[in-house]
């Protein structure tokens, strides 16, 4: 089912600062981010010698995703059939990749892919290896070890061996996840669906574009895991700045830039956003009903904070993150330019 059709049939439900995918039961909380920011962070980390860390982050997220967000009835379907039919349709139709096929011989599993999201942008990378390892480890209840990889920008081939021991990664629990991400009150303002209707965002096939730049949508836990375990988080702000400076008019006023930031955070699903500009130059970004992850560790907002910081470099390169305050369903980040 195409992304546009998912919106029409309310499989993907959007609201102010919130995107929920209801194809999987229970609901999962999605967010969006510019593909360039995510892929360049992954590329920078890998090129700096942190490939193994990025592989483990991807494996952690993919494992939790499969274990927690698939309907129990899926366990009755053979894994190869499930992946080659249901999940292939889901992942191709939201633009994560163009195609893939999985085959199994005993404990050896081979996956071939066409134009998968991360690899089509940066080529060889350990992150994609970790994603597939996490998916297989969760489905087969056996730690999937990557034993051979061929990665090119348009096509990849992975070979995994299923170990005799399972992979165990704890989560905070689906009930707690759903409770945190439940929105009890709706407000009238910008949403992703409205942005599509107004042509602020453009769908090309099943990929989302803003001002010519692709945007990716996915379950939000990844960014909390990166916040905890990701290397070079301090590089995210500069990567973010390099992305935004190409699409935001540098001559626009401070007010226009802040207004765009507010709407972008809401449309991208990061929460109902209010931004305060103080006379001393401080900027406070306040988000209600921000997305919570399924990971067992506390939620971590370092990645998001640095993406916002990079955007604020458009206003003043001297901005820094001075304080982050997190209460239930409220996140406040203070940026200081002194």
Residue with tokens 């560790």: 297
Q: Given this model, what pLDDT does residue 196 score?
A: 66
CATH of 174-336, one of 3.40.50, 3.30.1380, 3.40.1350, 3.10.350: 3.30.1380
Check whether domain 35-162 has CATH 3.40.50.2300, yes or no? no
35-162 and 174-336 share one fold: yes
Q: Tell me the per-residue pLDDT of 96-147, one tens digit each, with 9 for 90 and over.
A: 888 999 999 999 999 999 988 888 888 889 999 999 999 999 999 999 999 9
Percent of the chain at pLDDT > 90 equals 54
Measured CA to CA in angstroms, residue 157 lies from 149, 152, 263 at distances of 6, 9, 40
Q: Is the pTM of this model over 0.75?
A: yes
Q: Which of 258, 134, 132, 33 is nearest to 41 (CA)?
A: 33
Q: Tell me the per-residue pLDDT of 152-201, one tens digit each, with 9 for 90 and over.
A: 989 999 999 999 999 999 999 988 898 888 765 544 445 666 666 766 67
Q: How far apart are CA 299 and CA 294, in angstroms?
A: 9
Q: How far apart are CA 192 and CA 263, in angstroms?
A: 10
Does the pLDDT at position 17 exceed 60?
Answer: no
All structural domains of the chain with their residue ranges? 35-162, 174-336
Q: Tell me the per-residue pLDDT of 246-297, one tens digit each, with 9 for 90 and over.
A: 999 888 899 999 999 998 998 898 989 999 988 888 999 999 989 999 999 9
> What separation, in Å, do the N-terminal and C-terminal C-alpha atoms of the chain show?
50
**Cis link prior to 26 (omega < 30° from 0)?**
yes
Does the pLDDT at position 23 exceed 70?
Answer: no
* Three-state SS at 47: helix
């Amino acid at each position: 089912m195409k992304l546009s059709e998912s919106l029409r049939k309310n499989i993907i439900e959007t609201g102010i600062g919130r995107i929920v995918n209801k194809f999987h039961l229970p609901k999962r909380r999605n967010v969006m981010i510019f593909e360039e920011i995510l892929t360049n962070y992954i590329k920078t980390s890998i090129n700096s010698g942190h490939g193994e860390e990025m592989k483990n982050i991807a494996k952690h997220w993919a494992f939790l995703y499969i274990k927690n967000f698939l309907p129990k009835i899926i366990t009755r379907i053979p894994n190869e059939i499930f992946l080659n039919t249901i999940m292939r349709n889901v992942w191709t139709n939201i633009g994560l990749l163009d195609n893939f096929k999985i085959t199994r011989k005993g404990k050896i599993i081979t996956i071939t892919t066409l134009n998968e999201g991360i690899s089509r942008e940066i080529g060889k990378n350990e992150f994609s290896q970790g994603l597939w390892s996490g998916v297989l480890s969760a489905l087969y209840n056996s730690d999937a070890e990557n034993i051979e990889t061929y990665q090119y920008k348009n096509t990849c081939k992975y070979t995994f061996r299923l170990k005799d021991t399972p992979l165990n990664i704890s989560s905070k629990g689906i009930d707690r996840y759903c409770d945190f991400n439940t929105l009890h009150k709706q407000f009238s303002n910008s949403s992703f669906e409205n942005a599509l209707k107004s042509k602020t965002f453009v769908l090309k096939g099943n990929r989302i574009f803003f001002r010519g730049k692709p945007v990716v949508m996915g379950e939000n836990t990844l960014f909390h895991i990166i916040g905890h375990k990701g290397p070079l988080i301090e590089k995210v702000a500069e990567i973010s700045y390099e992305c935004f400076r190409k699409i935001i008019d540098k001559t626009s006023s401070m007010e226009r830039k802040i207004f765009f930031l507010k709407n972008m955070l809401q449309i991208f699903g990061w929460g109902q956003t209010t931004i305060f500009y103080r006379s001393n130059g401080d900027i406070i970004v306040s988000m209600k009903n921000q997305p919570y992850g399924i990971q067992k560790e506390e939620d971590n907002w370092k990645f998001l904070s640095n993406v916002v910081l990079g955007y604020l470099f458009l206003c003043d390169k001297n901005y820094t993150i001075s304080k982050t305050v997190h209460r239930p369903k409220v996140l406040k980040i203070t940026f200081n330019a002194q």
